[in-house]
Amino acid sequence: DFIRRWLLLHISMRINISLVSDFFIKLLKLPMSFFDTKLMGDLLQRIGDHSRVQNFLTGQTLNIIFSFLSFIIFGIVLLVYNRLIFLVFTICSVGYGGWIAMFLSRRKVLDYELFEQQAKNQNRTYQFITSMQEIKLQDCERRRRWEWEDTQADLFAVQMKSLKLQQTQEAGSIFINEVKNILITVLAATAVINGEMTLGEMLAVQYIIGQLNSPVSQFMQFIYSLQDVRISLERINEIHEGRNEETQENQATEFASEKSIAMDNIDFKYDPHALKKTLVGISFDIPEGKVTAIVGASGSGKTTLIKLMLGYYPVMSGSISIAGRNINEYNLKWWRRHCGVVMQDGVIFSESIARNIAVDDNEIDP
C-alpha cells in the first residue's frame, strides 16, 4: 500500500501538470476576443475539470481493474456452486445497470447546469473580493452582498435538483439489490431443504454474493465516473478546438519598408451583435520617427485603437498597415515584442519591481 500510494501520487502529479500545462499553452494561443466572452469562473471551473480526469485515470481505473478480476473469479465460483443462483444474480445486476443508465442523460444536463452556476459563483466571489475598494467608495456593500447571496441561492437550487436525482437513483438501486438478495436467499434455502445444497455451501454462496456485490457497485459507479470524465473532456476540448491567434497566414517577421503605421477607414465593435459601432471610419497615419498623440474624451476609443494596433482584435472593415504590410500578415507575438505599451488597466505581478519592468521571458540584465 505504501508503494502504491507513492506511485499514484507521482503519476497523478505528472498527469495533472501535463494536462493543465497543455491547457494554459492553448489559452495563451487564443485571441483576446475569446476572453471577452468567458467569465473568470468559467475558466477556473474548466481547470478544475482536469482534476476529474486525473482522478479517473490514476485512481478509479486501477480500482476497476482489480474489481473486474475479483468479479470474474467469484463469478466462476458461484457458477460452479449453483447455475440458477448465478443466473438470478446476473439478471438482477443487468437490471441494476439498466436502472443506472436511465439517469445518465438527466445527470449530464444537471452537470452542465451545476458547472454554469459554480462558474458564476466563482466569478461573483472573485469580483466581490477584488472590488472591495470600489464597493466601500460607492457605499454599495448591501447590494453586492445580496447579489452574491442570490448567486448562492441559484447554486443551492441546482445542487438540490442533483441531490434529488441521486437519491432517486440510490433508492431504486437499493430496492433492486434487496430483491436480488432475497431471491438468492430463498433459492439457496430451498436448495438446502431439497438436499441439493449443504448448509455450508449455502453460507459459502452468501459470502460469494457479498464479494460480488462490491465489484458490481463499483462498476456502476465507474459508469457515472466515465460519464463525468467525458463531460469534462467535452468542456476542455471546447478550449483546445478554439481558433488560434497565430495562423499559417500571419508569419511575417520583418518590416517590408519604412516603419510607419496607417489606419484606413477602420470600423470596429467589440460585440458583433451590438447595434452601435465602437469606431467608425477612422483613418490616420503615424510616420516613422515622429511623436503622435491620440487625444479624446473618456470612452472615445483611444485604448481601443491601441488594442487594434497590437492586433488584439480584427477590424470589421478597413485595414491596418505596419510598414506597408497588413497587420494580419505579421506574426503578432513578434510584432508586440517591438511595441512598448502601458495599458490603463495594467497588471502588477506579485514579483520584484525589476521583474515587473522586464516582464518578458528573458532573464533580467545584471
Residues 320-345: pLDDT tens digits? 998 888 888 888 888 888 888 888 77
Residue 221 confidence class, pLDDT cut points 50, 70, 90: confident
93, pLDDT greater than 80? yes
> Which pLDDT does position 205 carry in this prediction?
83
Q: What is the distance between the alpha carbons of residues 181 and 164, in angstroms, rounded to a whole number? A: 26
Residue 361 has pLDDT above 90, yes or no: no
Cβ atoms 58, 16 nearer than 8 A = no
- Cα dist from 217 to 118, 187, 191, 226, whole Å: 29, 22, 27, 14
Q: Could you tell me the domains of the chain? A: 2-240 (1.20.1560.10), 261-357 (3.40.50.300)
Q: What is the band of 158 on the pLDDT scale with cuts at 50, 70, 90?
A: very high
Q: Given pLDDT bands bounded at 50, 70 and 90, which one contains residue 366?
A: low
CA distance 256 to 335: 13
The per-residue pLDDT for 238 is 86
CA distances 306 to 33, 153, 293, 303, 320, Å, are 15, 41, 12, 5, 11
- pLDDT tens, position by position, 22-51: 888 888 888 888 887 777 888 888 888 888
pLDDT tens digit sequence for 300-311: 888 889 889 988
Q: Say yes or no to pLDDT of 104 above 80.
A: yes
Burial class (CB in 10 A: 0-12, 13-18, 19+), 306: middle
Beta carbons of 23 and 46 less than 8 angstroms apart: yes
Please state the rounded mean pLDDT for residues 296-300.
85
pLDDT at 59 over 80: no
Q: What is the chain's mean pLDDT, rounded?
A: 85
* pLDDT value of residue 32: 83
Q: Rounded distance, CA 167 to CA 240, Å? A: 35
318's grid cell? 478597413
The per-residue pLDDT for 1 is: 61
Res. 78: pLDDT tops 70? yes
d(CA 363, CA 104): 52
